[in-house]
């Protein structure tokens, strides 16, 4: 008897569960539909946030009487390309300096002194806390008189600017490299290299660095973007990089300034695409190897 009622009870429970499950279906579908609408709204806001300023700049740059005048002026502006080239050269030197400083540091900290990681992470975050204006005044106060009178010459000012930019690149470069190091078994790779007879430099150069290519490229890209757009340090050191040039340009030809902004934006995206292309192959290789 009890068995029978138990069986009936479980059948009823099962039927109720099925009804509930079936009954839930439309509401789940409704919820999914609602989620999808919210997702699209967020996406649309994001698109507008990024593209409205660009479209506005484009429309503004096309305002002069003769259509495209600002772009013609941009193409003939040798000073613009000079400043852009100067900024890129400074950016590349910054990336090299930052890589030479950050990669061995992050590698050594992970391998030999993992306890120091929080401290190193804190130091690399300092550029977020100390504004560039403070940094540049610190540099000017220190190096604008003997014994290290670096602000006296152009080369000295360039050195100061690169050093300041290397500091600004710390948060991006360190994080990118550290994430890359986390993805590979650096201890085993280092020990394998050592057992095969390699010294520290050889291991770093032949084993660690190539496996960090994607991470270094990611950090390098951010660094280039920051250096090309950096204004405060460059203006206080009296350097004619791209950002001060753009600012000065805006004072006498705002239409050309808009055109230059869009052109530089295009160049930046082109650079990003190239980096993505270069990094694609090695990224796949490293990830799949790590999965084994």
Q: Give the HSE-up count for residue 26: Cα atoms under 13 Å, Cβ half-sphere.
A: 2
* Single residue of 9, 23, 46, 199 touching another protein by CB under 8 A: 199
Q: By C-beta, is 240 or 283 nearer to another protein?
A: 283
Binding mask 47-86 for another protein (x = CB under 8 A): ----------------------------------------
Three-class DSSP labels, 47-89: HHHHHHHHHHHHHHHCCCCCCCHHHHHHHHCHHHHHHHHHHHH
Name the nearest CA neighbour of 168 among 95, 110, 241, 263. 95
Q: By C-beta, is 114 or 197 nearer to another protein?
A: 197
- Give Cβ neighbours of residue 104 (< 8 Å, ≥ 6 apart): 204
* Single residue of 27, 147, 197, 252 touching another protein by CB under 8 A: 197
Long-range pairs of 287-290 with CB within 8 A, sequence gap ≥ 24: 287/183, 290/183, 290/184, 290/185
Q: By C-beta, is 66 or 291 nearer to another protein?
A: 291
Touching another protein, residues 208-247 (CB under 8 A): 210-211, 213
* Single residue of 36, 142, 194, 247 touching another protein by CB under 8 A: 194
205 binds another protein (CB under 8 A): no
* Single residue of 89, 163, 198, 222 touching another protein by CB under 8 A: 198
Name the nearest CA neighbour of 166 among 90, 70, 256, 277. 90
Residue 117 structure tokens:
């990681």
**Which segment (24-32, 99-107, 201-209, 258-266) binds another protein by CB under 8 A?**
201-209
Footprint of another protein on this chain (CB under 8 A)? Answer: 184-185, 188-189, 191-199, 202, 206-207, 210-211, 213, 282, 285-286, 288-292
């Amino acid at each position: 008897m009890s068995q029978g009622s138990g069986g009936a009870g479980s059948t009823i429970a099962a039927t109720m569960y099925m009804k509930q499950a079936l009954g839930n279906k439309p509401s789940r579908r409704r919820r999914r539909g609602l989620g999808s609408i919210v997702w699209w709204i967020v996406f649309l806001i994001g698109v507008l946030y990024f593209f409205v300023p660009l479209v506005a700049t484009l429309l503004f740059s096309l305002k002069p009487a003769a259509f495209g005048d600002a772009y013609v002026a941009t193409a003939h502006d040798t000073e613009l390309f000079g400043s852009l080239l100067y900024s890129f050269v400074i950016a590349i030197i910054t990336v090299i300096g930052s890589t030479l400083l950050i990669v061995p540091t992050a590698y050594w900290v992970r391998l030999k002194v993992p306890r120091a990681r929080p401290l190193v992470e804190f130091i690399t975050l300092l550029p977020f806390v100390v504004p560039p204006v403070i940094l540049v005044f610190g540099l000017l106060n220190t190096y604008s008189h003997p014994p290290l009178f670096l602000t006296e010459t152009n080369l000295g000012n360039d050195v100061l600017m690169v050093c300041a930019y290397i500091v600004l690149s710390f948060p991006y470069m360190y994080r990118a490299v550290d994430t890359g190091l986390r993805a590979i078994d650096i201890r085993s790779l280092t020990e394998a290299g050592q057992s095969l007879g390699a010294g520290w430099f050889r291991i770093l150069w032949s084993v660690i660095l190539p496996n960090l290519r994607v991470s270094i490229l990611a950090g390098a890209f951010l660094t280039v973007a920051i250096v090309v757009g950096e204004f405060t340090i460059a203006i206080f050191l009296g350097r004619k990089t791209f950002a001060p040039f753009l600012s000065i340009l805006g004072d006498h030809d705002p239409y050309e300034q808009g055109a230059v902004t869009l052109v530089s934006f295009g160049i930046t995206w082109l650079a990003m695409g190239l980096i993505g292309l270069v990094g694609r192959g090695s990224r796949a290789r490293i990830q799949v190897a790590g999965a084994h």
